[in-house]
A and B are shown apart, each in its own frame.
Chain A
């Protein structure tokens, strides 16, 4: 055993030690320089993926911004024309035509500005929202396909963090900033050209500040990437804690955990605040630095240009114009610094999301899926090896043949591997060695949809989704009619209690089915599975929460339902086992007894002993 967590570090100890250090990350997110470089390029390619379908729309948006930029330049020109020609014309000739023309031009430019801005706002919102929509869906679908083992270490809170906080960070980038970026870019280009035309020497002096700016930007880029990457992690930990303590609020309150929770949450909140603030503080330095560089350039040009004027090398007017343009050169840069901050934060979020998108799926869909023409429900294990942790082999090499239509019960002590067998058949995991096949097709070659149509597992988890009872049952067969739903509920004996609820089948189950008791939830889940009508039904302790009358009803239903299908039943209540055609006793991942229940009882082995104990417990 390894050293225990240091308890003087009270604030960290509560989390305990994860089995692997990568528990909270996708495998793409490692710390070494090469991995970070890969991550950056992945996040860039994800950004590219987001933008690619909108290339034309983005080009159009840039076009609008160019128009706007020129429209905004019209005002100074019109002012100049008014002063130079309009006023003399009125004063000298009483001719108002130029002024009228200017008025018309202003009206036109106002209308143009109105139209282009309106178009820009709506179009950019469309592009931004469409990109986010695509990303959300892609990430969601990826999470859905990732294996159960991934989810077990990643936790739902972290999934939520990726879908909420990270997306929010990207949304901020798409909402504000693109116009700043383009406008600043245009400004810098046009003004650089103008400056070069007016006075190349002074322009060169101004451009000397460029390396300084680049250095500053590089510094910020480097340090803020670290800061924002860290901030993404602190916020995820905060969200995980929030989501779990809200989901488990009953336990929190029943055990008076509120104060300790508040204490831990406050700590996480503070950690997150410091992490978030760090990037923003670095940005404050960059922003101040950029302003300083701009002012420095002004001072240098003023001195150098002034000296040039005194030497007679350049005119006062030129210097004055040059200094004005410099201001218009540096001002948009300051806007850009703010956008750069948002961009860095969004990039960190994109890194996290690209980690998800690129995460390898352990239980992957086959490239060329095979399907089963007419499923019989024959399950075969061939030398199947399995372990969760390499040093603890759960199945050392299991071979097992279940003919179609047979009902098999798995019994054995805790840790014998019963649930593992169930999870392997429903392909929550893939075997580490050997093969499992359904009707002769390796599960790994079977199309996901085919597998799920044919194999359904019910566990004691009894997960209900937000919605009504009917909607929850309908999940077994999307599009089922109300009659089918009611029938399924009647078969498992859930109809009676459902009818007694205020809105019957349309009663909302509330969060996680909080409206129902564990037994009631289990019945709803049973109805759901029966509606699914699979060839192979796996029951993993699926009746443990039922009371005896309900269990009796379920068993009666099972006898009919299982008549023509394959079933694998795991139950410590042997009442459920007794409907099996065949019982397998599992010990340390090996089958030690195999036969019809009556025969095993008669033979006087382990099963006979279990059966005796169970009968004793009934009295």
Chain B
């Protein structure tokens, strides 16, 4: 956490100094008023009174001004720190591998960059300032108490012992409670997000009430955790109050006895008590401040949980950048194995496959044969758990990630579109693409419907491109991949949602693009196979056969089973 404060150390120092000055200014007004009453007013000195009033006015103005400026800068600084950390967390999340994101619900991540950071901010702007102020005040007051009557002051100071013990117990219980509440608040956000994103699935089945019941359960749990937290808080906060009162009572009784015995003057006792009254509220509020501090601590823990996760996919030491133009596009899988981390069985069990520069290779295989896993490997969205993949003979892990992904572009079957302009969605992988590139890509993907949108390329398309049809979304995703003009293009069933006619048009246009591009295409249908020079059949995690479509149709019964529509069903 400290590293985020360092850039603001001067500001924070200035601020905290202002806080102290503010306390001093505030505390110096009553004595001046007292002096005015004792002096000029009692003596009937009108000129003197004006003088005192002037001093009080000046101090008051200073107090108000300090209060204004310190609050102003307190929030400015706290918010700047909050925003800094948010940027860092976001950047880090962007680098974390997809395996991490598969496991973490978006709501959990979101609650970290919003709610948790908010708690940290509030602590810096509120609780911490208060802590400094009250520590300062208590010290000042305690010093005066010691000056007046040290034995009584020690009695007051002794109340620090139970306060400390209570505070420690509070920490032990409150921390896990605060943490549980924060975690649950992330769950609630997750359910809210998921049920909005899946609204059509929910509506199509009429499961709104079920979803509401589920959400209600999570929300009820959050409510109960909030209440549980208050039980813990109530035990110590109210004890803080009681101890402060008891301490006041004790000094009053002891002090009265000392006065009665002549050990203390009446004036001294009343001064002592008055001062001690001034100590009451900082102690009473200590519980509240501690709670804020605790919440900020667990919030920071939650954020560090994410920040401390290292991206599993990163540059190896000594990885080198590759110039896009120098890449020929020879892609080879050498004994590639892959297993999900929770599965001891391998999805890919030794894939050997070589794609020549400029060649288009189709991959066919039954559901679950590992096709989708396979195509996630060349651009390192996953890393193989065994074997290696090479690009122009170099292990792709020795190529700097950004230059690898510049050379190898992957488009998934599911077209992820963002709530942004069509232009921005298309230029996702090549921000410098010009109008001509975009139009050309739209033509290749037969996505010219874009021109009929209300604002053409500048139209904002909905989340996931919701207002577009599946076929339109898929064509935009394809156009997006084409815009990049990569050396190696990896497409996961890119035409599945297109009708036969459009598919044919796309294929014809795509052929030109694929001429000088290495391509790896997952296919489900014979029509898409037409794009490929060769086809590889993936069967139970291995390449079972490679060859031309017509060859495989003759030599491989498995291939026929996977790709031939000439089944009894269709013929019927």
Contacts and interface: CB of A to CB of B under 8 A. Distances in A.
Whether chain B is bound by chain A comes out as: yes
A17 B222 CA distance: 38
Nearest to B451: A1
A461 interface: yes
Contacts of B366: 547, 549-550
A19 interface: yes
A160 B107 contact: yes
A446 to B, nearest CB: 11
A258 B95 contact: yes
Nearest to A420: B469
Interface in A60-117: 75-76, 78-79, 82-83, 86-87, 90-91, 99, 102-103, 106-107, 109-111, 113-115, 117
B390 interface: no
Contacts of A148: 199-200, 203
B493 interface: yes
A547 B364 CA distance: 9
A147 B141 CA distance: 63
A518 B492 CA distance: 10
Contacts of B107: 160, 164
A547 B114 contact: no
A14 to B, nearest CB: 4
Given A251-B428, A266-B87, A17 B455 contact: yes
Interface string B208-221: 11111001100110
Given A152-B467, A251-B428, A545-B413, A117 B237 contact: yes
Interface in B37-55: 37, 40-42, 44, 46, 49-50, 52-53
A475 B497 contact: no
Contact of A244 (B234, B418, B428): B418
Interface in B340-360: 340, 342-345
Given A18-B460, A130-B223, A461-B201, A251 B242 contact: no
Interface string B91-134: 10111001001111111011101110010000001000000000
Contact of A157 (B368, B420, B463, B524): B463
Nearest to B186: A164
Interface string B48-75: 0110110011011101110111011001
Interface stretch (B150-158, B225-233, B325-333, B437-445): B225-233
Contact of A502 (B207, B210, B343): B343
Query: How many A residues are at the interface, by size bracket?
Result: 35 or more
A309 B42 CA distance: 8
B418 A515 contact: no
A102 B67 contact: no
Contact of B248 (A106, A476, A548): A106
Contacts of A244: 418-419, 463
A414 B246 CA distance: 81
B367 interface: yes
B409 interface: yes
A266 B79 CA distance: 14
B193 interface: yes
Contacts of B203: 148, 426, 428, 452
A598 to B, nearest CB: 12
B557 interface: no
Contact of A254 (B68, B75, B261, B405): B405
Of the listed residues B65, B125, B471, the one surrounded by the most CB atoms of chain A closer than 10 A to its CB is B471
B562 A549 contact: yes
B518 interface: no
Interface string B434-462: 00000000000000010000111111111
B496 interface: yes
Nearest to B499: A572
B195 interface: yes
Contacts of A43: none
Q: Which of A124, A160, A281 has the most CB of B within 10 A?
A: A160
A100 B210 CA distance: 64
B2 interface: no
B102 A511 contact: yes
Interface in A316-344: 316, 319-320, 323, 327
A117 B241 contact: yes
Contacts of B235: 118
A346 to B, nearest CB: 13
A156 B200 CA distance: 12
* B68, B95, B412, B480, most chain A CB atoms within 10 A: B68
B561 A269 contact: no
Contact of A284 (B72, B114, B196): B72
Nearest to B467: A152
Contact of A523 (B37, B200, B367): B367
Interface string B374-392: 0000010100000000000
Given A17-B460, A518-B414, A520-B367, A299 B64 contact: no
A133 B423 CA distance: 42
A514 B104 CA distance: 11
B419 A14 contact: no
Nearest to A572: B499
Nearest to A270: B83
B210 to A, nearest CB: 6
Nearest to B365: A547
B33 interface: yes
Contact of A280 (B75, B202, B340, B562): B75
Given A249-B98, A257-B429, A575-B565, A160 B463 contact: no
Contacts of B185: 164, 168
B101 A511 contact: yes
Nearest to A308: B41
Contacts of B30: 327
B242 A510 contact: no
16 contacts: A121-B234, A140-B219, A152-B467, A155-B463, A160-B110, A253-B94, A253-B381, A289-B68, A310-B44, A310-B49, A502-B345, A510-B103, A613-B500, A613-B504, A617-B526, A618-B565
Given A137-B212, A287-B68, 18 more contacts: A2-B454, A23-B460, A87-B266, A91-B260, A102-B252, A114-B242, A117-B237, A156-B197, A168-B185, A246-B93, A254-B409, A258-B94, A262-B91, A272-B83, A273-B82, A307-B49, A465-B198, A511-B104
Closest 10 CB pairs of A and B: A452-B206, A295-B60, A16-B421, A288-B68, A106-B249, A125-B230, A255-B429, A16-B460, A572-B499, A292-B64
